[in-house]
Structure 1
Amino acid sequence: MTAAEQSRPGTATRALVAAVAVLAVLLLGAAVGLLIRLPGSDNASVPAKDSVDVGFSQDMAVHHVQGITMANTARDKTTNQAIRQLAFDIESTQLEQVGRMKGWLTLWGMPEQSPDGTHMKWMATASHHSAGTTSSAGKAGLMPGMASSEELARLRSLSGTEFDVYFLQLMLRHHQGGAPMAEYAATHAGQNVVRTLADNMLKSQSSESEYMKQLLTERGAAPLQ
């Protein structure tokens, strides 16, 4: 074994470093979330357990975790610099946002996930949501845009251009599926910080979605139907 090989970090070391980095980002996001109680930062009232604020924070955190998982896979497997950078941007942004939402839930004394395992009930009770979200509101299972376990397994099995295309297709669908939730929360959440975060998500993911469509076109591929 050469000196370079002996000095190269092993898989376990890289995994530990990655885990520490993830924890640091989550703690930072949680700390930012806790700042809503500082004077002048936002309304200090605690939203109800069935509010848009709580439901959005719970569901979007779950939704984001899958996006982070796919982005992390892409960072490890792709050989394309543009896709690696996109995956890094998605992973780092959504990690911070998950930490922020979990910080709010902790501050409000709410569970990190819906206790009964259903999603989007916070959208089902009002008449303002779009028809596209009605069928998914208040149901258990995958939220719109989320990949199945079979699709994730297929993604991990691919390489090269096939991997890049399938990653872009899954992540584009993931962004599009989460957009109605962000749009609804940006309009109907009671906490200003929640509305602002949801609006920022909608804007950044809309931009990323257009970019992913462009990358798919360059590869002679189309979004998933």
Structure 2
Amino acid sequence: MTDTSTLEAPLPTASASHDRRPAPGRWALGAAAVVAAIGLVLGAVVALDGDRTTATPAADSADAGFARDMAVHHQQAVEMSFIVRDRTTDENVRRLAYDIAQTQANQRGMLLGWLDLWNLPKTSTDGYMSWMKGGGHHGHQMKDGSLMPGMATNAELDQLRKASGKQAEILYLQLMTDHHMGGASMARGCAQQCDVPQERDLAQGMVDAQQSEMNLMTDMLKERGSAPR
């Protein structure tokens, strides 16, 4: 498992002549996500304390299922982001990876914190995605470490660890685009099915942010002569 204690490790700062940031203000999203996350957690505590009997989700609810599954899904995104930071010197890719790792590690902590607050287990005997209406996996085959839609296989992670430079950048951007597509689908499910307002808000925020990042990664792939898979 990735050691998230390294999240605060600084990245090299690009010079003015080489800093090709894809979108103005893009790198402030991580800090904004932290502030928003604190507000969401405090809001959830107040809401649940105000009416704990009716507000606390059941173990088999969409709220609990999404929190458990997305925590696992996010952890792999953090892992992939730390891998690529060590496999390329491209500062735009490294900044994007840092931002994704910071944001998703923070959100993962929120989701696990909600499960603790609700006194619910962090794993389910029903398996992954069972909370989603209409069938959780939608044809996804769980194999080689790909537990949920969008997740990379163990073989793909090994390939990323062995790649370097432009090859690593392209593979990371493709894998993370797939990862975001799967994660956004899960988040839409929670936005529609979850009962806790704060969790629905977080899920919708994930959809919006990950769609924006997918657009950015498509542009970054095009710059490298490639495209999403």
- TM interval, shorter chain, is 0.7 to 0.9
Look up the SS of the partner of 2:131 in the other structure: helix
Structure 1: distance between partners of 2:151 and 2:160: 13
- Consecutive unaligned residues of structure 1, counting only runs of 5 or more, are 1-14
Task: Choose the corresponding residue for 1:120, options 125, 129, 133.
Answer: 129
The equivalent residue for 1:33 is: 41
Tell me if structure 2 keeps the 8 A contact 1:133–1:180. no
Query: In angstroms, what is the RMSD of aligned CA positions?
Result: 3.2
Give the number of the structure whose alpha-carbon radius of gyration is greater.
1
TM-score by length of 1: 0.78
Q: Which moved more, 1:95-104 or 1:37-46?
A: 37-46
Superposed CA deviations along residues 47-73 of structure 1, whole A, max 9, x for unmatched, are 011111000000000000000000111
Tell me if structure 2 keeps the 8 A contact 1:121–1:138. no
Given the superposition, is the C-alpha separation of residues 149 and 162 from structure 1 closer, same or farther in structure 2, using an over 3 Å criterion?
same
| 1:166 and 2:171 correspond | yes
| 1:134 and 2:144 correspond | no
The equivalent residue for 1:8 is: none
Given the superposition, is the C-alpha separation of residues 43 and 81 from structure 1 closer, same or farther in structure 2, using an over 3 Å criterion?
farther
| 1:81 and 2:91 correspond | yes
Aligned length: 200
| 1:47 and 2:51 correspond | no
Task: Choose the corresponding residue for 1:190, options 190, 195, 202.
Answer: 195
Given the superposition, is the C-alpha separation of residues 167 and 150 from structure 1 closer, same or farther in structure 2, using an over 3 Å criterion?
same
Task: Choose the corresponding residue for 1:208, options 210, 213, 217.
Answer: 213
Task: Choose the corresponding residue for 1:66, options 37, 60, 76.
Answer: 76
Query: How many angstroms does 1:35 deviate by?
Result: 5.2
- Consecutive unaligned residues of structure 2, counting only runs of 5 or more, are 10-33
Tell me if structure 2 keeps the 8 A contact 1:58–1:113. yes
Query: How many angstroms does 1:84 deviate by?
Result: 0.7
Query: How many angstroms does 1:82 deviate by?
Result: 0.7
| 1:94 and 2:114 correspond | no
Structure 1: distance between partners of 2:114 and 2:48: 16
Query: How many angstroms does 1:134 deviate by?
Result: 2.9
Given the superposition, is the C-alpha separation of residues 203 and 76 from structure 1 closer, same or farther in structure 2, using an over 3 Å criterion?
same
Q: Higher helix fraction: Structure 1 or Structure 2?
A: 1
Superposed CA deviations along residues 110-160 of structure 1, whole A, max 9, x for unmatched, are 11222x26111101xx35x7xx95334999961011011111011000111
